[in-house]
Amino acid sequence: MPSTDLEHWQAARPPDAAVLPGSRVRLERLDPPRHGDDLWQALHGADADPQMWTYMGYGPFASHADFTQWLNSLGNPGDAVFYTVIANSSGQALGLLSYLNICPAHGSIEIGHVCFGHALQRSTLASETIYLLARYAFELGNRRLEWKCDNANLRSKRAAERFGFSYEGLFRQHLIRKGRNRDTAWFSLLDHEWPAQQRAFERWLAADNFTEQDQQRQRLQDLREHG
């Protein structure tokens, strides 16, 4: 366990990077005029996953105009910083997500608003996306990276655990979303836990961990468990 003595604690820096580059994807600060059409297609096109919106506080959107209005609202000043996920191979935007609940004085930051198109869901690109955000969060000096979701959202809970977040507990009757109760499951990843998680991520993402058919040789969970 880390020391509880924080006498020399230095506040984290707020996220301000315009681009987070990776080998398969790059994360660009959301720019609705540049990214909007691709995102509309990824999130509302023929291959879109309607279940993605079930646990969101917004969407799906009835029209491209409504969607664009929502995207434009995400650029307003606030405590969330949105990034668009761009596939390096095609240059297309496949989804978006954000940092939120950014508290530099306490070194705490959250990943949320995860809106991934079908091509991005449960893919190597999605894993690298989370890796890039986690790495940058700890490079900024944060002590704590959070992940929260509706307790009924089994996909999100499984993702949090796969990405190395630890379950912390349940906030019962925490929110009301779209006329439904939300019990919120809390997960976290701490700074002293990150080095081991980072090594596992990087070994898993390495090119030699995948076959020519892009099938993984070792699972991320196994690499984490065996150090």
Residue 43 has pLDDT above 90, yes or no: yes
Distance CA 53, CA 60 (A): 6
pLDDT at 131: 98
Length of the chain, in residues: 227
44 within 8 A of 175, measured Cβ to Cβ: no
pLDDT at 122: 85
pLDDT tens string 148-179: 999 999 999 999 999 999 999 999 999 999 99
In sign, the C-alpha dihedral spanning 189, 192, 198, 200 is: negative
pLDDT tens string 181-220: 999 999 999 999 999 999 999 999 999 999 988 899 999 9
The Cβ of residue 140 has, within 10 Å, a number of other Cβ atoms equal to 19
The Cβ of residue 93 has, within 10 Å, a number of other Cβ atoms equal to 25
Angle, helices 194-205/124-139, rounded to nearest 10 degrees: 150
Average pLDDT along the chain: 94
- Residues paired with residue 176 on neighbouring β-strands, in sequence order: 181
DSSP codes, 210-222: B-TT--BSS-HHH
In sign, the C-alpha dihedral spanning 122, 47, 70, 62 is: negative
pLDDT at 1: 60
- What average pLDDT score do residues 22-30 get? 97
pLDDT at 81: 97
pLDDT at 67: 97
pLDDT at 227: 64
Give the strand pairing for 144-150 and 108-116.
parallel
144 within 8 A of 188, measured Cβ to Cβ: yes
- What average pLDDT score do residues 131-148 get? 98
pLDDT at 47: 85
Higher pLDDT, 76 or 29: 29
Residue 70 has pLDDT above 80, yes or no: yes
Q: Name all domains of the chain by residue range, CATH numbers in brackets.
A: 19-225 (3.40.630.30)
Identify residue 50 by its one-letter amino acid code.
Answer: P
pLDDT at 4: 74
pLDDT category at 2 given cuts 50, 70, 90 is: low
